[in-house]
Structure 1
Amino acid sequence: MAERLASGRHRLSRDEVTAHQKQRLFKALVAVMGTKGFNNTSVDDMIKHAGVSRATFYQHFDSKLDCFMAGFADMQRHAMTAIQAVPATGTPMERFGVMLHRYLGFMALDPRVARLYLLEVYAAGPEAIRRRAALQQEFVAGVGRVFKARSKADRFACQALVAAVSAMVTTALIDDNPDAILALEAPVLKFAERALRAGPG
């Protein structure tokens, strides 16, 4: 269960209290929805696990979907910040290697979060699916910058590479095998080197 703030007076500002409550709800969402799935999780499930009142939940979110989407945006921000902070020096393949290492590490770090936003997202509906697609396109754009993709063919190569990685990560998550996610690094790098040898950059 998410950690509660101590009762009584504390030194946190209103914004800090709000941020703390939201993080508790995001953690509860992952814990409960990661086990029961999107459709079988209720607001009551989340507030019970988070240790907040129903009124507090609705101060921050309009619905279960709203909470899910806010959690997705929070995850997306953290993931893309880490993944796209690649070194400015090195060959394109070396820089892609850093990006890939961080992406796979992020997906394997907490498989519940990864499954929630890569698999359960489809149960959450069209808006959530669009956000998943947008997340993948951010990754594609980052790969395109690393390889200096300019032509249509270059951009397609980057998109195909990211789609292949995403599909293999998704399969590993379905199989509940985070080690298989990390094991993708070496073969994906070899494949990328062959596929992009005459392509971007």
Structure 2
Amino acid sequence: MDSDGFTSLPRGRHHLTREQVAASQRDRLLQSMTQAVGEKGYARTSVADVLKRAHVSRETFYEHFTDKQACFLAAYEASAERIMGVVNEALAARDQPLMLRLERALRAYLRELAADGGAARTFLLEIYAAGPAAAALRYTVQRGFIEIIDGLLEEDERFRALPDPQFACRMLVGGVASLVTGKVAMGQHAALPKLCAPILAHFRSLLDQ
């Protein structure tokens, strides 16, 4: 592992396939893009910043991505997949009560973002600086979170009895996103787990109406 925390390829002769080398290079570029954007912002981050962190050549970068934006969007998608995976894993125990599973998923989501302020800033704020395609991707990712939570809440008859349960779910997820984004924008990512209790209280109040 190198000084940036990335797993380095073996020096000299090795038995890695071309595909394994390419996958390692791509992963390093995605991690480097996430870190650089988290620290400098999307507009101020250059391809050279990413190369310096990833320890790969400019030629290698363009073998994987057409430009900075393409690399950034790929890094964003990788982050989204990781966070969605954490949330889905927390929801996997279907034998547990709905609210307990929701609490576990929310805590896992908030912990994941709180663990890395730069990545959280990239995921929640800098995505909007990368143009319309990035904003559309952000919307698609949020729709994915809405579908996950909607699928969970649909198990509760009280939720199904609401006048428009899907709209209620969009409001809830949008509200969570706004609260979390505000904390990250203020540099308070470490305090994100403290949002869990009040958010759950509002979920419960909706179901108890």
Deviates more, 1:97-106 or 1:56-65: 97-106
Q: Which residue of structure 2 aligns with residue 133 of structure 1?
A: 139
Of the candidates 153, 161, 165, which is equivalent to residue 176 of structure 2? 165
Alignment of 1:1-201 (within 5 A): 1=4, 2-85=6-89, 86=91, 87-148=93-154, 153-198=164-209
**Corresponding residue SS for 1:184:** helix
Q: Deviations over 1:115-144 (max 9, x none)?
A: 102100111011111111111111111111
Cα drift, residue 178 of structure 1? 2.2
Q: Structure 2: how far apart are the matches of 1:35 and 1:107?
A: 15
Q: TM-score, normalised by structure 2?
A: 0.88
Q: Deviations over 1:157-180 (max 9, x none)?
A: 111111111111101101111232
List gaps (5 residues or longer) in structure 1.
none
Aligned residues: 198
- The sequence identity of aligned pairs, in percent, is 35
**Corresponding residue SS for 1:7:** coil
RMSD of equivalent CA atoms: 1.6
1:4, 1:51 within 8 Å by CA — same for their partners in 2? Answer: no
Structure 1 runs of 4+ off > 4 angstroms? 149-152
1:22, 1:60 within 8 Å by CA — same for their partners in 2? Answer: yes
1:65, 1:124 within 8 Å by CA — same for their partners in 2? Answer: yes
Q: Deviations over 1:51-94 (max 9, x none)?
A: 11111000101100000111111111111122123121222222
2:34, 2:72 within 8 Å by CA — same for their partners in 1? Answer: no
Return the letter of the residue paired with 2:68. K
2:73, 2:134 within 8 Å by CA — same for their partners in 1? Answer: yes
2:117, 2:189 within 8 Å by CA — same for their partners in 1? Answer: yes
List gaps (5 residues or longer) in structure 2.
none
